[in-house]
Chain A
């Protein structure tokens, strides 16, 4: 089946530094990727929709200057947490939808990475 690789799986960084998380679709191309954040015992909260070749679309309340998203190719999206603070500590997970452009519709499966546990000290 389709695989999405997310790296790193865990990262610990100091407050004020930046952290980059990569999301790669390994055996399919994805026009659209999504970034989620999960707090303990809470929903996967959609942060932003990453579209290849264009700017990401951020959900209300998500700081686009803090969470930089780049989707430079059809198989790679990156999330950079800039000037990280302890309150940014969380579980971040990406997902990619199979299909390109018009072939990617609402019933195209979503494939998830295994997530990144970010701890900011």
Chain B
């Protein structure tokens, strides 16, 4: 039973444009959501998070939006840079556990 889903396995964006990565979840008990970034041959690294009581959190070029009624969150990267090319995982947190989506591979073209 996959509680967090990322339905787009890949996304290609031109440098300077906006990248929007989407994530859906089924567990309404998640009280925290996180985005992780993963480069090849490395483990995921924390990028940005949002509490379930908020609908937006911004950190530099990265903004995460949460729509609880739709059980949907998204990560916006503006402007996108070639170094942002990686796999992005979203995760939900509940009862001391993190549940991850399958990831979206972002390719930012120069």
Q: Which A residues lie at the B interface, using CB under 8 A?
A: 4, 6, 32, 34, 36, 41-46, 49, 93, 95, 106-107, 109-115
CB atoms of B2 and A43 under 8 A apart: yes
* Cβ-closest chain B residue relative to A61: B1
Residues in chain A near residue B36, CB distance under 8 A = 110, 112
Residues in chain B near residue A95, CB distance under 8 A = 43-44, 98
Q: Which B residues lie at the A interface, using CB under 8 A?
A: 2, 4, 9, 31-32, 34, 36, 41-46, 49, 51, 89, 93, 96-103
Residues in chain A near residue B41, CB distance under 8 A = 114
CB atoms of B97 and A43 under 8 A apart: no
CB atoms of A6 and B43 under 8 A apart: yes
* Cβ-closest chain B residue relative to A3: B43
CB atoms of A42 and B99 under 8 A apart: no
A-B contact pairs, 14 of them (CB 8 A): A4-B43, A34-B97, A34-B98, A41-B9, A42-B102, A43-B2, A46-B98, A46-B100, A93-B43, A93-B44, A95-B43, A106-B31, A107-B49, A110-B46
CB atoms of B102 and A49 under 8 A apart: no
CB atoms of B100 and A44 under 8 A apart: yes
CB atoms of A112 and B44 under 8 A apart: yes
Q: Given the interface contacts A44-B89, A107-B49, does A115 sit within 8 Å of B102 by beta carbon?
A: no
Given contact pairs A93-B43, A107-B32, enumerate 9 new A-B contacts (beta carbons under 8 Å).
A6-B43, A34-B97, A41-B102, A43-B4, A43-B101, A46-B98, A49-B97, A107-B49, A112-B44
Interface of A is mostly: strand
CB distance from A52 to the nearest CB of B (A): 14
CB atoms of A32 and B96 under 8 A apart: yes
Residues in chain A near residue B44, CB distance under 8 A = 44, 93, 95, 112
Q: Given the interface contacts A4-B43, A95-B43, A107-B49, does A43 sit within 8 Å of B102 by beta carbon?
A: yes
CB atoms of A109 and B46 under 8 A apart: yes
Q: Given the interface contacts A110-B46, A114-B43, does A46 sit within 8 Å of B101 by beta carbon?
A: no
| Assembly CA distance A114 to B51 (angstroms) | 27
